[in-house]
Amino acid sequence: MRVQPVNFYSTARIKTNSASKILAHQAKDSVSFRAVSVLCKTPSDYRNLSDMQKDELMNKFLVAFHDNYYFHPRYRQTHPKFIDDFISTAEEIAKNYKDRRIISVGRSPCAFLETAMMIPNGIEGYIKAPFSGSWYSSLNNSGKNPIYSVVKGKKPSIDNMINYGINCLEAQGITPEIIINDAIKKNKTVIIDYIESGASIVSFIDVLTAWFRNKGYTREQLLNSIDIVAIGKPTMKKIEGINIKTVGKEDYGSFTYNNDQCDSAFCGEYPSNQWAKNSPPYDKEGSNAHLVRFRLMDYLSSIGQLRNDK
């Protein structure tokens, strides 16, 4: 069981600096500290930072993010339990899916998965599938059988969907053969997303289907080889006949939107109208993502929950 932390927003690293002091820290050798923060990607990197470097990074975090950002100190006034719920969701992902391959659909799940890699007994990694928008509209997204219709002119070509699978998923080391073989061994691949209407996940399944068929497999084989996991509490119970599993208690929609607005996402944006022109930006992070990663590791370290084996 996770040790109950001191308030996330009153850890020792956060100081009551005056605005002038913060700005002085921000200005001081900002290039070199930016380089340090970019390298701070793992708990091992964090532990190698000096206290001075940690203080500098915290001050850069405070300056970079506006007051209503979810990980900013002032957010405690309206959502005091958010960080505990956030970390609990990451722990739930690690507990249930540590030994599975995990594909993050779009940018929304990434912050939870990054956190799940930082905690003891956490996951070892995940596959980023940059995926923005959808080509379906929801006619009925409640109950057991949601109904969707294709929005005219939005669905990408089969070739573009196949190339997405090759250029994005295979480039990160996963193939239809691997997904099927894992399922045979009782380790279905986890497709995780923040699900509202479900239109985005249904669109993503279209892409996976085209990719599978190009390799000689069927849609049925695909659907029998994956689990769909929703962050939060979606209204529907099934998508494409697959029972939806859930993690987390909150509706995290406003957090995922806020995370994107602050340019702190851990994965690039990739709408389907860019697929034919640009490579998938699965390794492109927002300019402030490194500060969020540091912020989370600093907090986990303060409560004794930063993993020590990585």
| pLDDT, tens only, 60-119 | 888 887 665 677 666 655 666 788 888 999 999 999 999 999 999 998 899 999 999 999
Rounded to 10 deg, the angle between the 289-302 and 51-64 helix axes is: 130
Q: Using the structure block, give the residue that is written with the tokens 């970079």.
A: 64
Stretch 278-306: mean pLDDT, rounded?
Answer: 91
The answer to whether 146 and 138 have CB atoms below 8 angstroms apart is yes
What pLDDT score was predicted for residue 64? 80
Work out the average pLDDT over 3-11.
43
- 186 phi-psi bin (left φ>0, alpha ψ -120 to 50, beta other): left
Residue ranges per structural domain of the chain = 8-65+288-302, 87-274
Band of pLDDT at residue 139, cut at 50, 70 and 90 = confident
Neighbours of 187 (CB within 10 A): 16
- Whole-angstrom Cα distance, residue 57 to residue 70? 17
Average pLDDT over residues 119-128: 96
pLDDT interval class at 22 (50, 70, 90): very low
232's tokens: 């939060």
Q: Considering only residues 27 and 79, tell me which one the structure prediction assigns the higher pLDDT.
A: 79
| pLDDT tier, 4 (very low <50, low <70, confident <90, very high otherwise) | very low
